[in-house]
Structures are given as C-alpha cells and as structure tokens.
Amino acid sequence: MQPVDFTTLTAACSEIRTGWLPSRLEQVYQRDRYTIAIALRTLKTRGWLEISWHPQGARIHIGSPPPRSPDTFTFSQQLVHQLGGLALVEIQAIAPWERVIDLQFARRPGESALYHLYVEIMGKFSNVILTDANNQIITVAHQVGQQKSSVRTLLTGQSYETPPNQTAAIPSLNESQERWQERVSLVPGAIKRQLLKTYRGLSPVLLELMAQAAGLDSEANTDTLKPEDWLFLFQRWQEWLEALESDNFYPAWTKTGYTVLPWGAVEPVKTIQEILNRYYTDQLNLQIFSQLRHQLTQKLNNILEKLRLKGKTFSDRLQQSDNADEYRQKADLLMAYLQEWQPGMQKITLADFETGKPIAIALAPDKNAVQNAQSFYKQNQKLKRARTAVEPLLAEVKAEIDYLEQVEAAISQIDNYQTPEDLEALEEIREELVQQKYLDDPEYRSRSTLEIDGSTNFYRYRSPSGFEVLIGRNNRQNDQLTWRVAGDYDLWFHAQEIPGSHLLLRLTPGAFAEEADLQYAANLAAYYSRARQSDQVPIVYTQPKHLYKPKGAKPGIVIYKQERILWGQPRLVRELGVRS
C-alpha cells in the first residue's frame, strides 16, 4: 500500500484549507480502531474530514459519510465532547518538512485556539492527539507509555511533545545543482537511497516517479550517472519543490497507485481528496475482505467437517438398526425350536419360517436357548429405540449441513473484492454467523441489526426485455429479497436442491416474461449457485405466494410449491463475463 508522504500530505491540506476553513464541527464518528470522521459545515456545504492513524494507511482527507451504525468508541466521544460546536480555524504543519498537522479549534474565526488536534502521519508510529490551549494532552488515539517507547511517551495528562527533529538536510529551491549533486553523491550508492538519506520530505514512491520522469533507473548508482542525467534529475527535483511552494498539484492515478505530481500520471482526477478517499478505501477494504473471507471459509470448513463426521456416525447407527428384525427373527426361531438346542452349543442352524432356507444363529454357550432368545429380543428392542432416537438427530445434522453449505456457497460467489458492496456482503454473513452462534466475536458490531435486515445491496441485472433481476448475495439478503421485496407479479428462481442465491425477476402488473427472460434468469440462478461449474443446472421458479418459511428455520431456508423447472446454463454467464 502506498503511504501518504510529505508531498501528498501538503497537497491534501492545501485543498482542505481552501474549501473547509473556517468550518464548524458538528459530529465525530469513529469508523474503526484507526479512523475517525469529523462532520464539518461551512456556509456552503457539509462534509466529513477523515483522519486515520492506520499503520499502513495513515492519512487526512475529505471522505465519504460514515455508516449509520452506532459508534461505541470512547475516543470519538471524547473528541465530540470537547470540540462539539467549535470552529476549525486553522490547519498547519507544526514545523517545515514535518508530517505532523495541527488542527486548531476556536469558538469562532479570529479567536485564539482552545484546542489542538495533532495528526501525526508517520507510518506505524502514526497517532492523533487532542490537547488544550496549553498543549496538555486531553486524549490520544493510541496511548504510548514507557514500555512501548523510551524516546517519547503520549499519555493523557502529560504535555504534548513534538516528534524528534529530523537530521537530514532541508530541500531548497535556492540550492545550486552543484551543491545538491555534491550532497547526494558524497557516498556512492543507488540514487533513490542516497536522496532518501540526504534530504527530508522524500518517499520511495516519489523518488521512483521522479527518476522515471528524468529517464533514469532509481536503483542506478550515483557513480554511473552522466552530467545530463544529473541535469534532468535536478530539473525534476526543482519541479517538485516549485509544486510544494506554489501549492500547484496534479492528482492522478498511476499504474501502481496515485500521484499528486504530473509524473507517471495515467488518469487525472479532479481533487486530491477524491483520489485519497478512493485509494485508501479500496486498499484497506481489500485487506479486510481477504482476511474476513479466509476466516469465514476456514471456520465453515471446520464446522462442516465435524458435522459430516457426526452425520456419518448417526447414519452408521441407523444402518445397524436396520438389522433389528434379524435379531427378532432369530429369537422367534429359537423359541419355536427349543427342542433342537443342546447344552454348550455355540451355533445352531434352523429353517426359516417362510422360505425354509437354513439360517445360522450364533449362540452364547453359557446360556440356554431361552436366555439366548431373550438376548436377541433385547437387542431387537435396543436397535429400535436407537432408530427412534437417532433419526431426529440425523435430520437435525442434515438441516444444519444444508444451511451451512448455503452460507458456504454465498461466500464462494463473493470471490474477489471489486466494490465496497462485496465487503458489506461478507460482513453481513459474519454477523449472521455470530447471531446463529457459529462465531463468537463479541467485539464485532460494525453494523446494527436494523441496518443489516434492511440491506438492499443485491446483485442487479436487466433481462432481455428490460425487466429488473435482483439476486441475494447472502442468506440475509435472500430473506430480504424473498419476504420483503418480492411482489405478487414477480417470479422467484432458485437452483433445485442445490445451495445458491435467491433470484427475483421483477414484473410489473400485466407484464409477461418472454422465454428469453426466463432463460436469462435461470442462467443467472445457476451461475449464483454451488453448481456454477456445471454445464446445466435444474432451476425451479414459482410465484412468491407459493413460498413458505418453516417455523424456526434459519436464514435463507424456504419451501416452495407449484414450481416449474428450467435448465440453467451458467456457462453462458461466464462467457459473457456478467457482473452487476
């Protein structure tokens, strides 16, 4: 992940000053353990200033509104308690070439600051600290005691101390090329490494782009550079310093990330705020998505493995109980032919009542015929009782396996992160598993139950005739789609006896679905099922009024009647590369 360097931070703060000073603080919301969003209102607009001290994605920019779920973090509550209703009157660096920003809050513009919010963008040491006018720390996002750092502590009640001063040289437009070149080439080495060691305010990404713009390899040794190479590189160096001095930046996407300078630009973006918001939202969501998907997949695999083993044990017991009648038959034969028994016999062969065929019966030699028969009768009753006890247990295990395979199929459909909706769908699955007692994660409460139950984050398509097609991404959305969204005229689709998504073909009153519409919906239902890799998948469809949910059934479970069957072809969806 590309870190926010001094140049990006300077560019972002320049834009924020232009558009958001002065502004009134209305609300503070903490998105997660590393990120807060501050609601600011100016005379013209309202927006959210996002501040993060994430070890890999520390940043400050205008971001997206936070979700409507409750905020349970104390840091944000302390901030809104102290800063609520005050005006953000100044945003400035604490010192030249430092990545520490001082956000100053006062009662109104022009008055002295009552509070300072220091935002330290320093990689894994990033932090956010609130102090009063005398720089006494009121609260800090990440407390740093003596055990964590012997250089600088950050604790409530202490005086705020700025980070240690940097020792590298300060870049200057007034510095000559000769002096600059002398500093950089004093000790031979790769040009990127030597610049990083010699001057402040640089980052590996910036130097990589700078070297490319000069037509050089950033790993080229300083001893191998020609005079014209030094000249081209120095010109790019000065372009960088001029952009910082004039606040003239050029936000754009590069092949591997983003830039705020013209070098390496592939696609320009209107504002730096937009590019930072999109880049870090996607990058951090991708991290969370990958971790969460792996966690859910592993957990489900473990649970299903245990359930299948339990189911096999129950099936074996039922198979044994199928022999119950044999024990009764042997007992009846013994009682009918008592005269055939001799003391000490270990086996007796008797003719079957109906077929007359000989049946060999193993006996306990220390028991007489009646006692052996009683043992067979007892075994018969024991196996019958076992069937009565095991059958409902096996049915319960099978239902649980069916449900979890449905969840597993939903996760398999969300295979890659492409949009924030993909992460939201996974989080809904995790919340569902927490509520169904398959996961124990008391710290996870990112979204209220009301919000999840009301999710409409479906896959969306259009049939050949233009009818809307909605597909659930998980069991929660399947229930929402089937029991709340579906109308009387719609058609409901699902893979027959195969875990998969619920699909709704939405029809207006009087509208008629053509054969192509039905086949299109069937293909999608097959694609969003566990049988995605099959050539043909049986798909049932019916009207929503013929759907029923068993009492106490888990999310996503449904019973259907008066269904019709189509053969869906997921291959056609794969070939078209369809994705909502």
How many domains does one find in the chain? 4
Higher pLDDT, 91 or 323: 91
Confidence tier at 145 by pLDDT (50, 70, 90): confident
The pLDDT tens digits for 383-409 are: 777 777 888 888 889 989 999 999 999
Q: What's the CA gap between 284 and 329, in Å, rounded?
A: 69
Residue 301 reports pLDDT greater than 90: yes
More confident residue, 271 or 344: 271
CB 249 within 8 A of CB 240: no
How many whole angstroms separate alpha carbon 38 and alpha carbon 25? 7
Residues 262 and 340 in one domain: no
Residue 79 belongs to a domain: yes
**Average pLDDT rounded to a whole number, residues 312-319:** 84
Distance CA(355)–CA(154), nearest Å, equals 92
What DSSP designation does 235 have? H
* Same domain flag for 535 and 555: yes
Within 10 Å of residue 332's Cβ, how many Cβ atoms? Answer: 16
Q: Is the pLDDT of residue 448 over 50?
A: no
The whole-number average pLDDT for the span 363-378 is 88
Q: Is 266 exposed, middle or buried (0-12, 13-18, 19+ CB in 10 A)?
A: exposed
pLDDT digits (tens, 9 = 90+) for 99-140: 999 999 999 999 999 999 999 999 999 999 999 999 999 999
Tokens (6 digits) for 81: 């308690």
CA atoms within 13 A on the CB side of 499: 20
pLDDT in tens, 177-224: 999 999 999 989 999 999 999 999 999 999 999 999 999 999 999 999
Q: Is pLDDT above 50 for 449? A: no
pLDDT of residue 288: 92
In a domain, 78, yes or no: yes
Mean pLDDT calculated for residue range 286-315: 93
**Among the three residues 395, 429, 453, which one is the final residue of a domain in this structure?**
453
The H-or-E segment that residue 548 falls in is strand 547-548
| Helix, strand, or coil (residue 534) | coil
**Res. 453 pLDDT band, cuts 50 70 90:** very low
| Closest C-alpha to 15, from 274, 218, 232, 217 | 274
CATH of the domain at 48: 2.30.310.10
Q: In whole angstroms, what separates CA 173 from the centre of its chain?
A: 46
pLDDT at 381: 81
pLDDT digits (tens, 9 = 90+) for 73-94: 999 999 999 999 999 999 999 9
Q: Of 140, 169, 193, which residue sits at a domain end?
A: 140
Same domain membership, residue 421 and residue 466: no
Considering the domain architecture, whether residues 305 and 443 belong to the same structural domain is answered as yes
Domain that holds residue 197: 177-270
Among 230, 254, 270, the domain-final residue is 270
Q: Cα-Cα-Cα-Cα dihedral of 465, 470, 473, 476, to 10°?
A: -160
- CA 318, 321, 326 angle in degrees (round to 5)? 150
Domain co-membership, 132 together with 215:
no
- Flag whether pLDDT at 444 surpasses 80: no
User: Is residue 149 a part of any domain in this protein?
Assistant: no
Q: Is the pLDDT of residue 2 over 80?
A: yes
Residue 331 CB-density burial (10 A; 0-12 exposed, 13-18 middle, 19+ buried)? buried
- Compute CA distances 176 → 207, 234, 235, whole Å: 19, 9, 11
Burial class (CB in 10 A: 0-12, 13-18, 19+), 36: buried
* Reported confidence tier of residue 337, pLDDT bands at 50, 70, 90: confident
Whether 253 is in a domain gets the answer yes
CA within 13 Å, CB half, 463: 26
Looking at residue 198, what is its pLDDT?
95
Considering the domain architecture, whether residues 465 and 399 belong to the same structural domain is answered as no
Q: Are residues 483 and 431 in the same domain?
A: no
Q: Is 166 contained in some domain?
A: no
Answer yes or no: is 520 within a domain.
yes
In this predicted structure, the answer to whether residue 96 has a pLDDT above a threshold of 60 is: yes
The alpha carbon dihedral of 48, 53, 57, 59 has a sign of positive
pLDDT at 578 over 70: no
Do 514 and 463 share a structural domain? yes
Cα 379 from chain centroid (whole Å): 54
Rounded to a whole number, what is the distance in angstroms from the first to the last CA of the chain?
Answer: 27
Confidence of residue 576 (pLDDT cuts 50, 70, 90): low
Instruction: Identify the pLDDT of residue 550.
Output: 86
Give tens-digit pLDDT for 473-493: 999 999 999 999 999 999 999
For residues 335 and 319, the model is more confident at 335
- Same domain (yes/no): 362, 493: no
Contact 550, 479 (CB under 8 A): no
In a domain, 217, yes or no: yes
pLDDT reported for residue 341: 85
d(CA 580, CA 574): 13
Q: What tokens appear for 199 in the block?
A: 């001057």
3-state per-residue secondary structure call for 403-465: HHHHHHHHHHHCCCCCCHHHHHHHHHHHHHHHHCCCCCCCCCCCCCHHHHHCCCCCEEEECCC
pLDDT at 455: 61
Whether pLDDT at 579 is above 60: no
pLDDT reading at 361 higher than 50: yes
The mean pLDDT value for 336-364 works out to: 86
Looking at the structure, tell me whether residues 199 and 87 fall in a common domain.
no
The predicted model scores a pTM of 0.76
Average pLDDT, the chain: 90
Query: Residue 538 and residue 453: Cα distance in Å, rounded?
Result: 30
Cβ atoms 180, 188 nearer than 8 A: no
Give the pLDDT score at 445.
47
> Can you give the pLDDT at residue 78?
95
| CA–CA distance, 386 with 228 (Å, rounded to integer) | 90
* 342 and 420 fall within a common domain: yes
Pairing of the two strands 491-495 and 537-542: antiparallel
What was the pLDDT predicted at 67?
Answer: 85
Q: Indicate if 391 and 483 belong to the same structural domain.
A: no
In a domain, 1, yes or no: no
pLDDT at 137: 96
Residue 196's alpha-carbon distances to 184, 226, 234, in angstroms, are 9, 20, 15
Residue 556 pLDDT > 80, yes or no? yes
